[in-house]
Amino acid sequence: MAYKIAVLMGGSSFEREFSLESGKHVLRTLEAEGHTVLPLDTSSSLVEVLRDAKPDVAFIALHGGHGEDGTVQSLLEYLAIPFVGSPSRVCRTAWNKSMLPCMVLSRRKGADGPSSWPNSICLSASSFKDLGAATALDLLPKRIPSGYPFAVLPACGGSAMGVNKVESFDELAPAILEALSFDDEVLIEEWVSGVELAVSVIGTAEDARALPPVEICPHTGFFNTEVRLNSDLVDYYAPVRPQSLSPDEAEAARIRTLIEDAALEVHRSFGCRDLSRVDMYWDGQQVKVLEINVSPGMAEFSLLPVACKAAGTSFGALLNELLDQAVSR
């Protein structure tokens, strides 16, 4: 069935350029599928335009603040416009990376699961400005026993903006300041090495399914913002190469199942709806989950479309499935 679809993109977040690329790819795909598409670079006139246009459904291609923190979702809920993606209450929780252990453990109810996460601490800007947290940074190796290097990053945000690998105490303060320029909380966690992976999940609750894991191999360094903006600086393998997981074929298959199960566990733990992307590492012993994205990248070479192709499903068919689900709710 053809719909009149409002594609929300751009906006004013730090991730505006990523969002515009996602929106353009979604726009082209939906038009090719025969839908009527209203592209909207979100601004203060958004509500007025939506009320006048009366779309059947909205597709959120916004990244960062407004698009992933529940802002636009709560607005669409208020306007009674169906949309693809998780409800606002889920987005507000998933937006903060420090919530990951709390959500997963609450679902497990004491049982072991397929994944773990890096040891970390989360500190607010006010704890540095008003309470003197900077004087206790020497305690970090005691609180995070793995020691240096640490990952220092904004607690909220995406596209690896404000993320730094910190090798020594002298590098901590500048990295914390940079992270706090993107958010009011900073996450300091153990640096995880291994096979970097992204698993996109489609569906809701027990009906959710994992798309093939995408293996991410930057040519140098880590998967930072520069690499994410330039596909010439990274190689993707979808699905993940078995030899990256184990030289034994059967063991590699077992590990891949563990990786997919970990993504499903996280998606369900947060109560995500329709779609998400779970970023993680296989460190050689276990899955270490870094974060969940409720509005994953949708540009042509973004991780979800790459996974979709690996699954043998056209991107257009996937979007149609998601739109039908949103309209039927």
Q: Six-digit token pair at 61?
A: 């291609």
**Helix 303-310 vs helix 315-328: angle between axes, to the nearest 10 degrees?**
110
State the pLDDT at residue 231: 82
- Residues 92 and 70 sit within 8 Å (Cβ to Cβ): yes
From residue 50, how far is each of 11, 62, 68, 290 by CA, in Å? 15, 16, 19, 35
Per-residue pLDDT at 303 = 95
Task: Please give the pLDDT value at position 66.
Answer: 87
Q: How confident is the model at residue 158, as a pLDDT?
A: 83
**Average pLDDT of adjacent 10-residue blocks, the chain of 329 residues:** 96 90 97 98 95 98 92 98 98 95 85 87 96 95 94 90 94 96 96 97 97 95 84 93 98 98 97 98 96 95 95 97 96
Reported pTM: 0.94
Please state whether the peptide bond connecting residue 239 to the residue before it is cis, i.e. omega within 30 degrees of 0: yes
State pLDDT tens for residues 27-43. 999 999 999 999 999 99
Show the beta-strand stretches assigned E in the chain.
4-9, 36-41, 57-60, 83-84, 115-116, 120-124, 150-154, 164-166, 185-190, 195-202, 209-210, 214-218, 234-237, 275-282, 287-293
Instruction: Please tell me the distance from the alpha carbon of residue 179 to that of residue 36, in angstroms, as a whole number.
Output: 40
The Cα 298–Cα 134 span in angstroms is 39
